[in-house]
Structure 1
Amino acid sequence: MAQEAFEDIVETFEFLEDWEDRYRHVIDMGKAMDPLDDALKVPATKVDGCASQVWLHPKAADGVFTFEGDSDAMIVRGLIAVLKGLYSGLPLAEVGKVDAVAELGRLGLNEHLSSQRSNGVRAMVERIRNVAASAA
């Protein structure tokens, strides 16, 4: 059920055997993302439950979900990029059906993120699901 962009991430992770290389790749993905416009970094887009500053700006157009995001932590920017690969471009009705824990588990993220980062990812996924459900 994962998006093609996410499947590309999975393939890259399979090629990168060492977790340090995977971690660097996640950071590089975050660096490659366009920054979120400062005007969108407002309390309404801030994600609570993250150790670092995180903003997600969701968009629903023609029944399709996309979002932009940013963080003050490079690894979290990379995690936002991973979530974009997982969710952006899905029909609104499909967003809630994605088993994010299982999909992210394919990357081995569950075992290698601190509990604070894992909580932050859960908070981002919850925000994504709630926004998509409200827009659907």
Structure 2
Amino acid sequence: MSLPVEAGQALQRFEQARGWEQRARLLMQWGEHLAPLDEAEKVDANRVHGCESQVWLVAGQQDGQWHFKAASDARLLRGLLALLLVRVQGLDSAALAQLDLRAWFTQLGLERQLSPSRSNGLHAVLQRMAQLASGA
């Protein structure tokens, strides 16, 4: 499965990072790239349950391709969400369902920094994406 352009750029940047400190700084920078959600989008219907932090996910489909927006109250999680979004933007429902989240974060060199609760939270976001995609 080929990577979307932005995901390829993210992978390149993270591969060049030396050590966790540089990756953590990159992670925070990626989090700043998340498009902000309107307050009207931060409603319970868009909330992802299963995350310790508050996470909202908004999805839309155009020409069979999925486009997502997400927000979180946790800074590190915003970075992880931004990296998840660059990986899934523009995928169709079948490709989204097949995405190996752990492999993506392993490629980025971030798998060791995913605590069980963060990992569970990201999987909850991915499951929510798959639910939205299968319900469309």
With the shorter chain as reference, the TM-score category is: over 0.9
Which secondary structure state, in structure 2, belongs to the residue aligned with residue 90 of structure 1? coil
Contact 2:15 2:109 in 1 (8 A): no
Shift of 1:34: 2.0
Shift of 1:4: 2.1
Within 2, Cα distance between the matches of 1:31 and 1:98? 24
Contact 2:48 2:124 in 1 (8 A): yes
Shift of 1:108: 2.2
Shift of 1:32: 2.3
Give deviations 1:43-91, integer Å, cap 9, x for gaps: 1110111111100001112211011010011111111110111101112
1:61 maps to a residue whose letter is: Q
Matching of residue 67 in structure 1 with residue 63 in structure 2:
no
**What percent of counterpart residues are identical?**
39
1:102 aligned residue? 103
2:9 aligned residue? 8
Give deviations 1:75-111, integer Å, cap 9, x for gaps: 1111111011110111233211222221221112221
Give the TM-score of the pair, scaled to structure 2: 0.92
1:122 aligned residue? 123
Give the TM-score of the pair, scaled to structure 1: 0.92
Within 2, Cα distance between the matches of 1:110 and 1:79? 11
Shift of 1:133: 2.0
Which secondary structure state, in structure 1, belongs to the residue aligned with residue 35 of structure 2? coil
Within 1, Cα distance between the matches of 2:133 and 2:106? 22
Q: Which runs of 5+ in 1 are unaligned?
A: none
1:127 maps to a residue whose letter is: R
1:85 maps to a residue whose letter is: V
1:47 aligned residue? 48
Shift of 1:118: 1.2
Structure 2 counterparts to residues 12-23 of structure 1, below 5 A: 12-23=13-24
